[in-house]
Structure 1
Amino acid sequence: MRVEKAKTTPTWAKKALDLRPEGIMFPMIENSKMARKAVSYCKFPSNRIHGFAHTFVRASDYGTDNGYLSNYEEDLLIMCQVESEEALKKIEDIAAVDGVDCVQMGSLDLSASMGYLWDPGNKKVKEIIKTVEKGVLKTTTKGGGGGGGAFLSGFAMPHDRPKDMRSRGYHHMISGSVDIGLFRSACVKDVKKFKMKLVESDDEDGLEDSKDEKYLSE
């Protein structure tokens, strides 16, 4: 599933939506007002403020997709990322906003905002996250998701496996990594392999040199 991340501004949202992603994630949503604005950026003028020049963008296959207008809003997953202490206090209000399909837990930023930089597995952070999860699930039970109640989404980590997350209510979406992370890991692996080859090559050269020296000394 392709999800674009956009700043919570209409300009950035339009740029992301013109690519026709299956989902769009708005970071640092801290209250219901911000969540409603985020949703409005994804709606056409009759509903909200998303631009209507759909015939000139890739999202509609440059105007050749006749079903684009009918299916666009229904097919789009709107995600609000909560990653600050301020958002925690308003979590039920955020999740209950009409049009918010999913609340994405930003555990790394959330732990940093609580004073535990790069320590999302901290006991206090985990306790807070569980409280937030319950707040989101309350609205899911009431509204059913996507129109008065959002579902939970998050990243699996070494200290928080997919199995554990599912047991806490992550039934729709659990992410394992992001494209940049996968690319970085592949590059690091390739560089390490390259360095190992250099070391092996140096060792082989050293052996050959020692053989030559022995031959000359004889």
Structure 2
Amino acid sequence: MEHGYGGIPEALTCLRSLAATGTPAILRLPESTAAWAKKALDLGPQGIMFPMIESPKEAQKAVSFCRYPLNGVRGAAHSIVRASGYGIDAGYLGHCEDELLIMCQVECEDAIEKIEKIAVVEGVDCIQMGPLDLSASMGYLWDPGNKKVREKLRKAEKQVLEGKIGNEKNNGGAYLAGFAMPHDSPEELKSRGYHMVSGAVDILLFRKAAVEDVKKFKLSLEIGDGSSDDDDPTAEGVDADDKYWSE
């Protein structure tokens, strides 16, 4: 719900579809507030992702949004919401907090400097790296594959992973999650120790298929008018992503 056009009604439709196939669902909020967390959690997702977490204090607040008083500030309507089966799940209050995956996105340069402490906040299950916002905060909006951005990201990754190893005996420390990028494949993320990888994006899959279809149509015309394809991002051998993601 952060960048997509959908809100609560659209999220509910997605949750129903995923539930039909036994697939866990994670909702990413448009902003990290108690009101949005309450609306999202009442829908009954298996996980919730908070964007733009910039300090341990903000991470603690995010966790509190997911817990009922006295352990948190989540608004209580558990007897009538989808998450509890509209009250049919009598044991909901006993298991809802333990079964919820809480993810915090760390995605700006200032937050990266505090990531070691954010990752060990009690209740934070997973740190989701945000490479695009990180590159933007460092002045490389159009170049997320820049060497300086990659170096900053690698350092942060190691801190999260080391924190997880150092706290495993106490069931503490967050897992590491991230987004695959054209310059940073799922395989590369896995090799660096990521526990969760977000791979292909539906919009990009659709766009790629549409562009390929246009390419095939243009080739089939065989016009041969002598025009140059050098500046055409849909031309054979030219990928608009290559221009955007290049260092």
Q: TM-score range, shorter-chain basis?
A: 0.7 to 0.9
- Once the two structures are superposed, the pairs formed by residues 137-156 of structure 1 within 5 Å of their partners are 137-144=161-168, 148-156=172-180
Partner of 2:199: 176
Identity %: 55
Higher helix share: 1
- Structure (1 or 2) with the larger CA radius of gyration: 1
Partner of 1:87: 111
Aligned residue identity for 1:76: L
Aligned residue identity for 2:87: G
TM-score by length of 1: 0.81
* Secondary structure of the structure 2 residue equivalent to 1:111: helix
Aligned residue identity for 1:115: G
Q: Using the alignment, how far apart are the partners of 2:135 and 2:54 within structure 1?
A: 15
Partner of 2:76: 52
Query: Taking structure 1 as reference, are residues 46 and 147 closer, same or farther at Cα in structure 2, changes over 3 Å only?
Result: farther
Q: Using the alignment, how far apart are the partners of 1:189 and 1:10 within structure 2?
A: 39
Structure 1 contact 98–147 (Cα < 8 Å) conserved = no
Q: State the shift of 1:118 in Å.
A: 3.2
Query: Taking structure 1 as reference, are residues 134 and 194 closer, same or farther at Cα in structure 2, changes over 3 Å only?
Result: closer
Q: State the shift of 1:193 in Å.
A: 4.5
**Aligned counterpart in structure 2 of residue 2 of structure 1, from 4, 25, 34:** 25
Aligned residue identity for 2:192: R
Q: Using the alignment, how far apart are the partners of 2:125 and 2:64 within structure 1?
A: 13
Deviates more, 1:190-199 or 1:72-81: 190-199
Q: State the shift of 1:58 in Å.
A: 0.8
Aligned residue identity for 1:134: K
Partner of 2:183: 159
Aligned residue identity for 1:47: N
Q: Is 1:43 aligned to residue 63 of structure 2?
A: no
**Aligned counterpart in structure 1 of residue 149 of structure 2, from 119, 125, 132:** 125
Which structure 1 residue ranges, 5 or more long, are not aligned?
Answer: 204-218
Which stretches of structure 1, 4 residues or more, deviate above 3 A after TM superposition?
187-201
Residues 155-210 of structure 1 deviation map (CA, whole Å, 9 limit, x = unaligned)? 1122112222122111x211103xxx414642674587589779989x9xxxxxxx
Partner of 2:206: 186
Number of positions where the alignment pairs a residue of Structure 1 with one of Structure 2 = 198
- Once the two structures are superposed, the pairs formed by residues 195-206 of structure 1 within 5 Å of their partners are none
Which structure 2 residue ranges, 5 or more long, are not aligned?
Answer: 1-23, 224-247
Q: State the shift of 1:30 in Å.
A: 0.6
Structure 1 contact 108–118 (Cα < 8 Å) conserved = no
Q: Using the alignment, how far apart are the partners of 1:133 and 1:44 within structure 2?
A: 31
Q: Is 1:26 aligned to residue 46 of structure 2?
A: no
Query: Taking structure 1 as reference, are residues 197 and 137 closer, same or farther at Cα in structure 2, changes over 3 Å only?
Result: closer
Aligned residue identity for 1:82: V
Structure 1 contact 17–59 (Cα < 8 Å) conserved = yes
Q: State the shift of 1:147 in Å.
A: 5.3
CA RMSD of aligned residues (A): 2.5
TM-score by length of 2: 0.72
Aligned residue identity for 2:206: A
Residues 16-38 of structure 1 deviation map (CA, whole Å, 9 limit, x = unaligned)? 11111111110111110000000
Structure 1 contact 4–21 (Cα < 8 Å) conserved = yes
Q: State the shift of 1:67 in Å.
A: 2.8
**Aligned counterpart in structure 2 of residue 66 of structure 1, from 90, 93, 112:** 90
Query: Taking structure 1 as reference, are residues 191 and 38 closer, same or farther at Cα in structure 2, changes over 3 Å only?
Result: same
Query: Taking structure 1 as reference, are residues 142 and 100 closer, same or farther at Cα in structure 2, changes over 3 Å only?
Result: same
Residues 84-128 of structure 1 deviation map (CA, whole Å, 9 limit, x = unaligned)? 011011111100100000000000110111011132211111111
